[in-house]
Structure 1
Amino acid sequence: MKYFALLLLILSIPANAEEAIVFGVHSTTAPLEWRDNGVDQGFNVELMESIGLLLNKPITVRRKTFQQLVSDMHSSDSDVDVIAVVSPVNFRRELAQSDPVYATHAKAFTLQGEDYIDNWSDLVGKRVAIKNGAFVDIFLKNQPQDFTQVKVDLYETGFQMLMSKEVDVVLAENFVARRLQPKYPSVRSASDALIFGAFTFVSHPANAPLLKEINDALRQLKISGEYDRLVNKWFGMGREKFDITSTHQKMLTLSIVISIISAMGMLYTFSVSRSLKYRSEALALELQQRKIAEQKIRSLSQQFQAVLDGIPHGMTIFDKQMQCLWSNDNNQLLTHSQFHYIDGTPFDLAESVKSVIDSKKSFIADMGYLAQYWQVQIHPIADEQAVVLLEENTEQQHLRQANDEASRLASLGELSAGVAHEINNPTGIIIHSIALFAEAMKDLQPAAEYYQQQNPFWLIAGLDPQAAFAEINHSNEVVEESAKRISRIVNDLKCYALPNLSANHQATSLNEVVQVAQRLTANQLKRFQVTVELADPSPIIKGDAQQLHQVLINLIQNACHAMDTTNGHIHLRTAMKGKAAYVSVEDNGSGMDKATLKRITEPFFTTRRSYGGSGLGLSVCSRILKEHHSEMKVTSTLNQGSQFTLVFSAIEPEQSAPFSPISSSTTNSRKPIQ
């Protein structure tokens, strides 16, 4: 039937058809480009033949090596018009390319027992085999990595070098690797996809008109559904498509065996008697029914296997002797030395599996691996067997930690309000008593002067009475100012601890916001040189002062963390420009690189994880600023410092309550801020 369909295809081409398109093929990788009984077929070949029918041009398949085809595409005199190659995503080859034909990827392959490769950094210092001119090679020319590249002519050469330990890792394209793995059982997949690519048709720039026609035909095939039919035919049946050549060989052997058995049966049938004819027919019918049943069972098994392979979480079945009966190849972490309980206790997979099998009770626990969190479930199944499920729950753990931290902060807010109330009472008594002392000293001074005239040698606390009265008055002023400062800080703390109300936006002075934040962070700021520059009059905006205090406090604390105490300098500034009001926090600390700068407002992203940072500060600040319809501009230079500028819409003076003017500039040099 195959050859009959090919004959019909050839006969359907009009006599006046244009010159044939020569399609270069280099691979024997099912299901893309392979050869069965001398006939070239596969997804790329059939897709190109469908394109040829639309363009009214016959397709000639010409098979060469990969390097020959790449060289041909750089020559305008080549006898090959177009080839199919893989290009990395977002990378354009020098040659003309079509629309993407089919997606693929490349990942790392190592020998059994080697460590799992999570990312490019795990390849540092290793010898990595890379096919010369392949899409992995093209990618690495633009994205150099810190490892030794060993160029090979074929992926299979890389696998052979891996077996002989001439290289440590092979970066191979998925379809080819899946075909090669049955031939090299000690080679295993050691990573998730590291590079994503897409098959495209490629030609010399001189063939640009032809490539445009191919592109138009390709789009028509996608619209008509023919493309989907080919995809389903070659990729829709599961894993057997990758090993179709070996499957054909097995089927051929089975056919020969069945033919021999049939021939022997025929001889036996003719040699015995015709009385056994009906019995032979019955046996033939039974054999046919068994074949049909076996085919159905095989198809169901393949579908079930495809479902299991598609599960995103790790699943492994062990027996009591810890033999792996089945796995979807996602269980490497279970035996990793850094895979442990959250409290740091080492995890023993064998002991846990045997305990579950013996007790017939399930086991569920949360685990840690580097900066990730995982949940392990072990359930007893058939006799002396257990299934191990591995699922990543890093995000759930982060959300749980954020919820716990929010609860602690809420409790701290309530406690702060109570402590502030308790401090206010003795502070009020101190202020009242100091006022009484000051008035009493004024009344006592004439009596002291009179007594000094009667007794010239009279001393107060070892001091001359005049000096003693001056010192006492100075002490009263210092105590009174300190008590007032305590009162201001307590009031600021009470306002900061109040619950947030999104609708509580009122006329707010930016200068006052800066001063409150400055007082609340005085303990951190005292180690640095601080310059405060406040606009006069103060910019007035509509907002929630408590939430703005939170934003400024967070920015000031981040600036303190980024600086060295020996020469750290923080500059706080408010300004007005037109209808815009500005607040800026500038430091001369460590600064940030571009990669960090892009992620500073992401929840849970922090560069201070080892110091207890949660990664929520700037994320909360960003949310508050969005509620205030404001904008945060950030400029930062590595090892030079950062500047955070908050831009608000100012309101007209008649829309706001009057505020007392504030001095435009103050400077503080490593002293507690008053």
Structure 2
Amino acid sequence: MPALAQESIVFGVHSKTAPLEWRNNGVDQGFNIELIDRIGQLMDKRILVRRKSFQQLVKDVHNPDSDIDVIAVVSPVNLDRKLSQSDPIYATHAKAYTLQGKALINSWADLIGKRVAIKKGAFVDVYLSGYPQQFERIDVDLYETGFQRLINNEVDVVIAESFVARRLLPLYPSVRSSSDALIYGAFNFVCNGKKSALMDQINDALRQLKLSGEYDKLVNKWFGTGREKVDLTSTQQRMFWLAILISIISAMGMIYTGFISVSLHKRKKALDAELMQRRRVEAEISALSKQFQSVLDGMPHGVTIVNQAMQRLWSNDNNIHLLVSPEFRYIDNHPFQLKSAVLDTLSDQHSLTADMVYQQQYWQLQIHPIAHDQVVVLLEESTEQHRLRHANEEASRLASLGELSAGIAHEINNPTGLIVHAIALFSAAMKDLTPAAQHYIKVNPFWQIAGLEPVKAMDELAQSCDTINEGAQRISRIVNDLKRYALPHLASENTAVSLNEVVQVALRLTANQTKTHEVIIELNSPTPMVMGDAQQLHQVLINLIQNACHACPSHTGRLYIQTHLTAQHAKISISDNGCGMDSATLKRITEPFFTTRRTEGGTGLGLSVCSRIIKAHNAEMQIHSSQGKGTQINLIFPLFQ
């Protein structure tokens, strides 16, 4: 028995929904079951299917001693479960369901104040844990329980996963789909965290199936366009064939018996039964076809099939308008003609892949021949990828600029050093010449220096020497700060850093931006010390000071910069009286490429880089802002011991 357990993977199943997982004639079948069985063959392990309730499976997969190794669940596309999980298996979505006659649900805002049924532990529940909503949540154990409570007027809306809802809707005719997809999800295999090695093997096998094309064959088998999967039970199949057999017997009885009227009556009954069966099957096929069409329509990418005569054979209608828009052009600004592109693809029988631009968006266009006179046209937005490439190029340019700045700083340091040295000589000479000047005044009372009385001229010269020396020292400090800022980052060179010095360096490098604002500085004594990279912390504070200056009005803006020290933490606080941010902006402020200053040249990378640097220092960045009331940002560091 122990040897058998080592060579087996127990796959937990709870679903009754075709084509994913269900049982027909006592045989477990479906896409997930066939996929995990093929993965087991590649891993040289036997797959054992075990059916339990959904709640029990979720409990088992969190228990390292459970007899369940792997289950298939849905996770929101933008959230990961805390369990060890595989690559995405197949897409799905959840949407709202209400009673017939109720208003449609167009967005989450339409759910405010309503009683909404949520299945506990399902992917809708996982998604909402990160996105609190303003409705009354009613937890249920099954989506079917939610539908029952909907009929009993105990809830107003049920948010259910689409594959399950397809099975339930025929059982609850008073319930209808009342929204487009609210949440997109993906099926994944998950297992307990202690079995992460097993999940690594499953992922390797899954990727091997994808690379070999077997995964695509399975998807086409169970979900492919033009193939509808109807869950016919064994009883229905036997009744169908029995009806055909009765029909044949009735026809033979009509020929070989003299009881023509009885035979006709039996034949009529058989034909009626067969007609009812056909109508029921056709209705199920039509409903399933519409549901699959809704899944294809819900895909964010455009898919269109056209023939040589430019007739559109099928399309999910996503972004189809781009193909005929004169603003849809190649990235080098050459015009795009769909007809010529299709004809060239069919003529060469080679796929076309091109980067396109439409207004301020970037797209990838693919045209693939699928027959001698048909092509499939795929459209996928690539704006973020384009911006990322642009950001990489910008980072390279900035690196070059840093090297150039370091070189210029070196060149400035040389004449600055000469100035400091010369001024020191002039100051010493002035002290020595002062007695001689006083003596000469007695000899020649009318003697002047540069048109001034000798005493006043000597004072002016001394003051000028001090002013030149102070200016040269300031140039030297700024150049040294610039050289340190331009140094390449070495993660292994973390040292003890003074937060007071970080503030002072950042203020010197942003003096040009802060000169039109009132800046109030409160530095803690003794200075808070942290372990980190001074160059990177300079970069963070410079970025935050510049952002505060942009947010504040000129000449009336105020910036407060403070350092604090507690028993366990050191803190820098930057606050301003600027325009502030609304809650929607505040949620996305650290996302790469998100900026409210796009038209003014903002890239949206500043706070994203700052957030990454702060996390690398095991620190925390807290942002508090109200629109029209200003912003406060706290950088909280673990104290250097």
> TM-score, normalising length from structure 2?
0.55
Q: 1:214-251 CA deviation, whole Å, 9 max, x = no partner?
A: xxxxxxxxxxxxxxxxxxxxx97777579x9xxxxxxx
Write the distance in 1 (CA, Å) between the matches of 2:102 and 2:341: 55
Residues matched between the structures, number? 422
2:431 paired residue number: 442
1:134 Cα deviation after fit: 12
Answering whether residue 449 of structure 2 is matched by residue 460 of structure 1, we say yes
Within the candidate set 540, 551, 561, 1:572 is matched to 561
Answering whether residue 493 of structure 2 is matched by residue 504 of structure 1, we say yes
Counterpart amino acid of residue 550 in structure 2: H
Answering whether residue 357 of structure 2 is matched by residue 314 of structure 1, we say no
SS state at 1:458 partner: coil
Native 8 Å contact 1:136 1:195 kept in 2: no
2:323 paired residue number: 335
Cα 1:94–1:469 change in 2 (3 A) is closer
1:637 Cα deviation after fit: 1.3
Answering whether residue 527 of structure 2 is matched by residue 527 of structure 1, we say no
Answering whether residue 420 of structure 2 is matched by residue 431 of structure 1, we say yes
1:370 Cα deviation after fit: 5.9
Counterpart amino acid of residue 100 in structure 1: Y
1:469 paired residue number: 458
Answering whether residue 87 of structure 2 is matched by residue 99 of structure 1, we say no
SS state at 1:365 partner: strand
Cα 1:540–1:312 change in 2 (3 A) is closer
Q: Percent identity?
A: 56
Answering whether residue 633 of structure 2 is matched by residue 590 of structure 1, we say no
1:491 paired residue number: 480
Cα 1:474–1:561 change in 2 (3 A) is same
Write the distance in 2 (CA, Å) between the matches of 1:332 and 1:346: 17
Write the distance in 1 (CA, Å) between the matches of 2:101 and 2:493: 73
2:407 paired residue number: 418
Answering whether residue 377 of structure 2 is matched by residue 388 of structure 1, we say yes
Cα 1:420–1:237 change in 2 (3 A) is closer
Write the distance in 2 (CA, Å) between the matches of 1:69 and 1:457: 105
Within the candidate set 584, 592, 607, 1:618 is matched to 607
Cα 1:93–1:568 change in 2 (3 A) is closer
Write the distance in 1 (CA, Å) between the matches of 2:420 and 2:610: 37
Which structure 2 segments of 5+ residues have no match?
1-17, 20-52, 54-97, 104-115, 126-132, 160-164, 171-178, 186-220, 233-239, 256-284
> In angstroms, what is the RMSD of aligned CA positions?
4.9
Write the distance in 2 (CA, Å) between the matches of 1:349 and 1:134: 52
Counterpart amino acid of residue 639 in structure 2: A
Write the distance in 1 (CA, Å) between the matches of 2:345 and 2:425: 77
1:439 Cα deviation after fit: 1.8
Answering whether residue 368 of structure 2 is matched by residue 325 of structure 1, we say no
Write the distance in 1 (CA, Å) between the matches of 2:510 and 2:618: 26
Write the distance in 1 (CA, Å) between the matches of 2:332 and 2:640: 53
Cα 1:348–1:455 change in 2 (3 A) is farther
1:463 Cα deviation after fit: 2.2
Write the distance in 1 (CA, Å) between the matches of 2:610 and 2:137: 46
Native 8 Å contact 1:430 1:483 kept in 2: yes
Within the candidate set 193, 203, 226, 2:181 is matched to 193
Native 8 Å contact 1:334 1:349 kept in 2: no
2:65 paired residue number: none
Q: How does 1:61-76 map to 2 (within 5 A)?
A: none
Q: 1:438-460 CA deviation, whole Å, 9 max, x = no partner?
A: 12222333333344334433333
1:201 paired residue number: none
Write the distance in 2 (CA, Å) between the matches of 1:440 and 1:316: 87
SS state at 1:461 partner: coil
Write the distance in 2 (CA, Å) between the matches of 1:322 and 1:137: 47
1:618 Cα deviation after fit: 1.8
Within the candidate set 542, 555, 562, 1:553 is matched to 542
Q: 1:594-627 CA deviation, whole Å, 9 max, x = no partner?
A: 2222222222322222322222222222222222
Cα 1:449–1:594 change in 2 (3 A) is same
Native 8 Å contact 2:118 2:146 kept in 1: no
Write the distance in 1 (CA, Å) between the matches of 2:613 and 2:449: 58
Q: How does 1:147-166 map to 2 (within 5 A)?
A: none
Counterpart amino acid of residue 596 in structure 2: T
Cα 1:134–1:465 change in 2 (3 A) is farther
Counterpart amino acid of residue 406 in structure 2: A
Native 8 Å contact 1:376 1:388 kept in 2: yes
Cα 1:487–1:602 change in 2 (3 A) is same
- Larger radius of gyration, structure 1 or 2? 1
1:580 Cα deviation after fit: 2.1
Within the candidate set 551, 574, 589, 1:600 is matched to 589
Write the distance in 1 (CA, Å) between the matches of 2:618 and 2:139: 47
Cα 1:192–1:95 change in 2 (3 A) is closer
Write the distance in 1 (CA, Å) between the matches of 2:565 and 2:117: 56
Native 8 Å contact 1:633 1:646 kept in 2: yes
Native 8 Å contact 2:138 2:155 kept in 1: no
SS state at 1:618 partner: helix
